[in-house]
């Protein structure tokens, strides 16, 4: 027995997530995440922004974007939330204000990324 009530809802959620993964297939999951990563990196390029990592080393689970020198990550994020109801994440540690992070792992779709990058583009145009 566990010393406290176990978080059964988390175990049920894990079971449901694993069922979805088995249904999709591991190879398909890797392929989907790679396609989403490529899409995100392409949109970064289209917006005239720079990736934090070189393209060949960039992650298929998260895209880190260098913030243009004259702006801060927090200002961009706040404007995106206020004007588009879309939220990206800032960098971490010493890179908090110099990096934006866009996650594309799990149940993220290309439509989600289209919305996020369209909002980022519109936000940067206003700056």
Q: Which residues contact 76 (CB under 8 A, 6 or more apart)?
A: 67, 88, 100, 120, 123, 124, 127
Mean pLDDT of the 99-118 span: 96
For residue 127, what pLDDT is reported? 77
Task: Evaluate if residue 84 carries a pLDDT over 90.
Answer: yes
For residue 3, what pLDDT is reported? 86
Task: Evaluate if residue 92 carries a pLDDT over 90.
Answer: yes
Summary mean pLDDT of the chain: 95
Q: With the C-alpha atoms ordered 26, 32, 35, 41, is the resulting torsion angle positive or negative?
A: negative
**CATH architecture of the region 8-126:** Alpha-Beta Complex (3.90)
Q: Kindly list the domain boundaries of the chain, sorted by start residue.
A: 8-126
Digit-coded pLDDT (tens) for 2-20: 788 889 999 999 999 999 9
For residue 5, what pLDDT is reported? 87
């Amino acid at each position: 027995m566990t010393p406290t009530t176990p978080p059964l809802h988390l175990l049920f959620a894990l079971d449901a997530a694993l069922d979805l993964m088995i249904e999709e297939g591991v190879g398909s999951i890797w392929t989907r995440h790679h396609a989403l990563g490529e899409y995100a990196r392409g949109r970064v390029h289209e917006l005239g922004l720079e990736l934090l990592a070189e393209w060949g080393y960039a992650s298929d689970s998260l895209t880190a974007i260098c913030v243009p020198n004259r702006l801060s990550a927090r200002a961009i994020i706040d404007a995106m939330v206020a004007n588009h109801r879309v939220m990206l994440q800032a960098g971490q540690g010493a890179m908090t204000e110099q990096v934006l992070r866009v996650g594309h792992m799990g149940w993220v779709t290309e439509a989600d990324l289209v919305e996020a990058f369209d909002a980022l583009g519109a936000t940067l145009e206003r700056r």
